[in-house]
Structure 1
Amino acid sequence: MRFAVSYSTPYHGIDPDRITAFALHAEQCGFEGLYLPEHIVLYPGATIGGVELPPTLPYADPLDCLAFIAAATNRILLGTGVLLLPYRHPVILAKQLATIDVLSRGRMRLLTVGLGGLPGEAAAVGVDYASRGRRADEAIDVMRLLWAGGADGVSFHGEFFDFDTLVSFPKPHGGAELPVHVGGSSRAAARRAGRRGDGYFPGGMLTPDERRAQLNLARETAVEAGRDPQALEYTRWASTELTPDRVEAFAAQGVTRLVINVAATDPVEQRDEMSTFADRFRLADGAW
């Protein structure tokens, strides 16, 4: 089992010293990676899962924050949970992600993408909300094509993106394509993970039966697509109150990574939470 931690700028703050201290402490504790969420814009009445989001929540750009974090750290992997893929142009995004990966020496490896659940957010960037799933599928294909392409260029002709002989450098660190994990809480997201994803990261409000069904669906879809279902990583949310028995239960469900939410808002208490968790699971020793 691998353990990562989430830093949410709306609740934990966007002070640069605070972000740096959190990231450095997470790295020192032995956490594998650090995740940030995304909303591009909010507006009065924006609601997800029946919960209204205050429009003044400071959602900082996750990629800018991760580049900043990369400069202050040495080992911790960089992740998004989730990046709203339909609202970003994949040609530009492929360059941004490869650049962060090169500058961080290969640490932009926990990218998780999703569709977003706010129609007003889609409208704000000129994206048709109803077609955002198909747009995300094409975007994943475009990014992978650009990362793999050579000096002769690559071409793509799809519903949303169309280009001929584009060349995109730098490549990700080491020349490898970046992993793309798929987040979401729907069966469509599970199928997307099976067809195109390197992992599946479902939301936190699913029933146990639905979780099992979605994981099975992701694996079945991977088989249908000619992909190895066992290569699909499975990431879940968890809290710092997690016990070893509960981790064993997660592992029995096929979970390969847990992303820990830190409940405290005070910086000192946040670091104490992370330290206590890391000691419980001996993260610095790699015991798990």
Structure 2
Amino acid sequence: MSADLTRMKFAISYSPPYHGTDPDTIIAYARHAEDCGFEALYLPEHVALYRGAAIGALELPSSLPYLDPLDCLSFVAAATCRLLLGTAVLVLPYHHPVILAKRLATIDVLSRGRMRLLTVGIGALPGEAQAVGVDFRTRGRRADEAIDVLRLLWAGGEDGVSFHGEFFAFDDLFSVPRPHGSTGLPIHVGGSTRAAARRAGRLGDGYFPGGIVHPDERAVQLEIARAAAAEAGRDPNALEYTRSASIDLTVARAEELTAQGVTRVVVSSPATEPAEQRAEMFAFARRFGLGKQSD
């Protein structure tokens, strides 16, 4: 294995629609991921679905059971010790940032600093936005403003903080507790568009593109993110770059991703049976020399 690859971080996702919502299964999955040496566990979000909801050509059955990712991650945190907690993605425009700042800081405090891989997106389902009272056309601007609000509240101030924007406004506000031992949480930006790449560069601590995109377009989007970071006076080299992959990822393919600038890979498994999931996680951990491995 190359020296560059040893610096790669490996996380795993848990998708309730396909892996189930049984609490014992979730905890067993998370504990096994931790024992195998995975860095983090990621969960997706949909607030609500409806008939005909689709992302591109992919229609989402309205019966898919999406757990609230933050509630689920809090549950996971209580049953694990080291595993970082991530979302991919939390649909930011559908959350009020004042409430969200409190929820995220609470999880981070109770987990002793493990709510550190928050990835946000702007959503792709108009009906979902309508259901929560958000104008679908303004969701990008709303997300940008929400990121500013989250960081302002976490940083705090002796006299409180104030904000007056297009969507949110408050004066002399205190949001306590703040994140564990910190004045903020990293915010990664997800999305498979050039707009998402620009948002990641301007505002994100990391970029996590999704979707099925041609490799050439992937490269363009990464350059857009880095250029946007530089234009905003930020260090483009500090931007983490996360990508998704199947759990059968090979070492050769991981090395290719490293050469493309990827710093973290989040793998997923199509297996629905817990025994098969455990076997796949163990095999992956052994293949990439992750920490402690369990049978």
Structures share fold, TM-score greater than 0.5: yes
* Separation (CA, whole Å) in 2 of partners of 1:79 and 1:34: 6
* Separation (CA, whole Å) in 1 of partners of 2:26 and 2:248: 22
TM-score normalised to the size of structure 1?
A: 0.98
Question: 1:222 maps to what in 2?
Answer: 229
Paired letter, 1:246:
R
2:214 to 207, 210, 213: 207
Q: Gapped runs of 5+ residues in structure 1?
A: none
* Separation (CA, whole Å) in 2 of partners of 1:15 and 1:285: 26
Deviation at 1:156, TM superposition (A): 0.5
Deviation at 1:47, TM superposition (A): 0.7
Q: How do 1:15-30 and structure 2 match up within 5 A? A: 15-30=22-37
Q: Is the contact between residue 27 and residue 75 of structure 1 (CA under 8 Å) also seen in structure 2?
A: yes
Rate the CA distance shift 1:285–1:27 in 2: closer, same or farther, 3 A. closer
Q: Is the contact between residue 204 and residue 237 of structure 1 (CA under 8 Å) also seen in structure 2?
A: no
Matched, 1:260 2:267: yes
Paired letter, 2:182:
G
Question: 2:3 maps to what in 1?
Answer: none
Question: 1:172 maps to what in 2?
Answer: 179
Question: 1:97 maps to what in 2?
Answer: 104
Paired letter, 1:95:
K
Q: Is the contact between residue 148 and residue 177 of structure 1 (CA under 8 Å) also seen in structure 2?
A: yes
Paired letter, 1:10:
P
1:71 to 66, 78, 81: 78
* Separation (CA, whole Å) in 2 of partners of 1:190 and 1:239: 23
Deviation at 1:151, TM superposition (A): 3.3
Dislocated runs of 4+, deviation >4 Å = none
Residues 171-227 of structure 1: per-residue CA shift (max 9 Å, x gap): 100023100000001111000000000000001311101100000000000000000
1:45 to 37, 42, 52: 52
Q: How do 1:1-288 and structure 2 match up within 5 A? A: 1-284=8-291
Equivalent residue of 1:277, what SS?
helix
* Separation (CA, whole Å) in 1 of partners of 2:21 and 2:56: 25
Q: Is the contact between residue 108 and residue 115 of structure 2 (CA under 8 Å) also seen in structure 1?
A: yes
TM-score normalised to the size of structure 2?
A: 0.96
Paired letter, 1:89:
H
* Separation (CA, whole Å) in 1 of partners of 2:142 and 2:174: 21
